[in-house]
Structure 1
């Protein structure tokens, strides 16, 4: 998995009733866009994550 600063991250809930989480990647700490990623989530929390198979990277729009 590779990402850049500004990409959106979408973590799908792993069980029934577990909400999805979305946020923006604010820092890429791995080499060549690899994890871990520092993410600012929509609810205001910030966390360092190593994305799993339930995670999708949504690339930022290039103009």
Structure 2
């Protein structure tokens, strides 16, 4: 997974009663296989996110 600042990350879930999470990438940290992201989630909080297989990117451009 490769993201740029401004891209959206959507984290799907296999739990039926949990909705997918969406957030905006505000910072790209590291590079290559060590790349991870600072994400501002829909509820306003920010966290450092290491994407897993349940995540996908929605690019701005």
Greater strand fraction, Structure 1 or Structure 2: 2
Map of 2:2 onto structure 1: 2
4+ residue runs over 3 A deviation: none
CA offsets per residue over residues 14-35 of structure 1, 9 Å max, x none?
3111121001000000215x63
CA offsets per residue over residues 1-60 of structure 1, 9 Å max, x none?
11100000000123111121001000000215x631000001101110101111001111
Residue pair 1:10, 1:23 contacting (<8 A) in 2 also: yes
Residue pair 1:7, 1:24 contacting (<8 A) in 2 also: yes
Distance 1:44 1:8 in 2: 14
Q: TM (normalized to structure 1)? A: 0.85
Unaligned runs of 5+ in 1: none
Q: TM (normalized to structure 2)? A: 0.88
Residue pair 1:23, 1:40 contacting (<8 A) in 2 also: yes
